Chain A
């Protein structure tokens, strides 16, 4: 059982004090001022409860009750570069973080176009990189989401990626976040990704655990997409079944930029993914895809927001869940169409396949439309395997178990196939396959 801190100062406050003590002079920096402000804001808000509209279906009281231990230094955890190469699908560029801290020895960056930065945020902040400092917290506000405030309070490390105007990073950049150790770690990476006008990059965040422990990963990623920028952001969440994982991805898109997010959640005990994109320039395009594969007692919650702030922007959204055992899924898809955002074309689809009677799904579209000349469609389905399809397969000799597997995998791979990075897609296919197979052997 987790230790309970009843009368004592909560873990985040005592650790914050400890953290400040070890800052050696950095405590007067403008970065630290941001941390203090965030800690104050978090203390004010506290962990959300199910009374908050945004957290109605996801009860984070197990997180609120637990005591976590922030990690303040880097640790290679006995990993070899072969290990991480495998975990990061043999990517040319990979940044490895163990318990939220950059591990240089395990990371490897291939040749990059001039001016492109692929590195760790800690170095960029220490080096007083103006861009890094200026971009931190620009799109992810500490005012609304308590977890974002808590992330900022302990902000130390993460990825810092800058692709200047017109530059193209051909190979995907893999960001590998590995949690390890036996304590209830608090791991709070912060990623800043800035992509200039006409620049292109693909980034894949992967979250994995080496041990079965109830760590809390609380990550925030901020992406700026310049005019005509093309960005694919893939995410794999495959931590241990005890892990808590809260993530917020904030994207700000300028004119004619194209942003694609593929978010695949397989692991974790309690998982919440927030994805928010603001279409802040005409003809910007946004595609959000998601897949949850859950069983046992897992809860996977996806909250998305697409904010159509300017006219003529298309957005496409496809979120799928496969729920087995007593798992639970949540999907909340907000689409704002601002007054000026005429000719918006937004399409949202949420589909859930329930493989057991105990699994449940809460799905809610939330369309707020203030313009009149727009096209917005949304649809949600929750159901079992299709009886006609099952019969068709069986009538050709395929047994029930295999038939169900084939159909379930086909349902899930619809999302996996949208990942353009070959190595990652192969890894995802294998993981989804293994997880679905495991669910069946229950």
Chain B
């Protein structure tokens, strides 16, 4: 589904990604962990098409297509979804209006009929339940004045409405209280299908108790330096990242 080969990306002249390799198959859940500033959000944003980042080397294939050639909106319409680490506030645009515009843009692209107001309302009422969204957040401007946790929950609500094939969740767990974390994680699980994939970026093993990953990767200094199964997350929780750094440095030395 997603093949990232030797991806290099820079911003303002600084190289942030220095050769990322990653393969994601349909139905899989991948967790990406790594220290602050290691490039996790950069990777997520590059995949979503943020133009501020310049890709200098490597390629990304998504369902066989060159993802990097597509505009952000085209990627979204093809099923790529990014839940932002810092969801953006859009004053003056109601959450429902925004979602309707998004969903209908995606549907149109896929040859489906646009939903009218009634059908759309029915759909969102149903999807709200998946993440136990407070109804009052629907009519409010997108993310404006939302609490940190409400913003994160809203991102997953958007995901529930847009039903992406590849969802990238950038620290969706940070800012959520214990109950909300479980609800949101349950929501993500409910949205799982055998042809969908999820990449979760997180700092905490706790989330991975709920959203159980098939693979865990460690991103450091712009590269994936270690991959493993869910046990790796436990090990990281216990030992931190230093030991990996050492190990990878020594591999480099002997290579």
A contacts, CB < 8 Å to B: 387-389, 391-400, 402-403, 406-407, 409-411, 413-414
Cβ of A399: which chain B residues have Cβ within 8 Å of it? 73, 105
Report yes or no: B88 in contact with A389, Cβ–Cβ below 8 A.
Answer: yes
Instruction: Pick from B52, B75, B76, B99: contact of A387, CB below 8 A.
Output: B52
Report yes or no: A402 in contact with B72, Cβ–Cβ below 8 A.
Answer: no
Main secondary structure of the interface of A (DSSP, over half): helix
Cβ of A403: which chain B residues have Cβ within 8 Å of it? 73
**Residue on A nearest B106 in the bound complex, by CB:** A397
Tell me how far the C-beta of A168 lies from the nearest C-beta in chain B, rounded to whole angstroms: 31
Among the interface residues A387, A403, A411, which one has the most CB atoms of the partner chain B within 10 A? A403
Tell me how far the C-beta of A69 lies from the nearest C-beta in chain B, rounded to whole angstroms: 43
Q: How far is the CA of A80 from the CA of B30 in the complex (A)?
A: 69
Report yes or no: B50 in contact with A393, Cβ–Cβ below 8 A.
Answer: no
B contacts, CB < 8 Å to A: 48-52, 71-73, 75-77, 81-82, 84, 87-88, 90-93, 97-99, 101-103, 105-106, 109, 141, 158, 162
Cβ of B51: which chain A residues have Cβ within 8 Å of it? 391
Q: How far is the CA of A85 from the CA of B98 in the complex (A)?
A: 34
Instruction: Pick from A389, A396, A413, A414: contact of B102, CB below 8 A.
Output: A396
Q: How far is the CA of A300 from the CA of B97 in the complex (A)?
A: 31
Cβ of B72: which chain A residues have Cβ within 8 Å of it? 391, 394-395
Instruction: Pick from B77, B84, B92: contact of A411, CB below 8 A.
Output: B92
What are 10 pairs between A and B in contact, CB < 8 Å?
A392-B84, A394-B49, A396-B76, A396-B99, A397-B77, A397-B162, A398-B102, A400-B71, A402-B101, A406-B93
**Residue on B nearest A391 in the bound complex, by CB:** B50
Cβ of B102: which chain A residues have Cβ within 8 Å of it? 393, 396-398
Q: How far is the CA of A409 from the CA of B91 in the complex (A)?
A: 11
Report yes or no: B71 in contact with A392, Cβ–Cβ below 8 A.
Answer: no
**Residue on A nearest B102 in the bound complex, by CB:** A396
Cβ of A387: which chain B residues have Cβ within 8 Å of it? 52
Among the interface residues B73, B97, B162, which one has the most CB atoms of the partner chain A within 10 A? B73
Q: How far is the CA of A350 from the CA of B104 in the complex (A)?
A: 35
Q: How far is the CA of A393 from the CA of B101 in the complex (A)?
A: 9
Among the interface residues A396, A399, A400, A402, which one has the most CB atoms of the partner chain B within 10 A? A396
Cβ of B91: which chain A residues have Cβ within 8 Å of it? 410, 414
Other 16 A-B pairs with CB < 8 A, given A391-B88, A397-B77: A391-B48, A391-B51, A391-B72, A394-B76, A395-B48, A395-B49, A395-B72, A396-B98, A396-B162, A397-B106, A398-B102, A406-B101, A409-B92, A410-B90, A413-B92, A414-B91
Cβ of A388: which chain B residues have Cβ within 8 Å of it? 88
Cβ of A410: which chain B residues have Cβ within 8 Å of it? 90-93, 141
Among the interface residues A393, A403, A414, which one has the most CB atoms of the partner chain B within 10 A? A393
Report yes or no: A397 in contact with B92, Cβ–Cβ below 8 A.
Answer: no
Q: How far is the CA of A26 from the CA of B84 in the complex (A)?
A: 74
Q: How far is the CA of A414 from the CA of B141 in the complex (A)?
A: 12
Report yes or no: B82 in contact with A395, Cβ–Cβ below 8 A.
Answer: yes
Tell me how far the C-beta of A410 lies from the nearest C-beta in chain B, rounded to whole angstroms: 3
Tell me how far the C-beta of B81 lies from the nearest C-beta in chain A, rounded to whole angstroms: 8
Among the interface residues B71, B75, B93, which one has the most CB atoms of the partner chain A within 10 A? B93
Cβ of B50: which chain A residues have Cβ within 8 Å of it? 391, 395
Tell me how far the C-beta of A387 lies from the nearest C-beta in chain B, rounded to whole angstroms: 7
Cβ of B141: which chain A residues have Cβ within 8 Å of it? 410
**Residue on B nearest A399 in the bound complex, by CB:** B73
Report yes or no: A407 in contact with B93, Cβ–Cβ below 8 A.
Answer: yes
Cβ of B76: which chain A residues have Cβ within 8 Å of it? 394-397
**Residue on B nearest A403 in the bound complex, by CB:** B73
Tell me how far the C-beta of B123 lies from the nearest C-beta in chain A, rounded to whole angstroms: 15
Tell me how far the C-beta of B155 lies from the nearest C-beta in chain A, rounded to whole angstroms: 10
Q: How far is the CA of A392 from the CA of B49 in the complex (A)?
A: 10
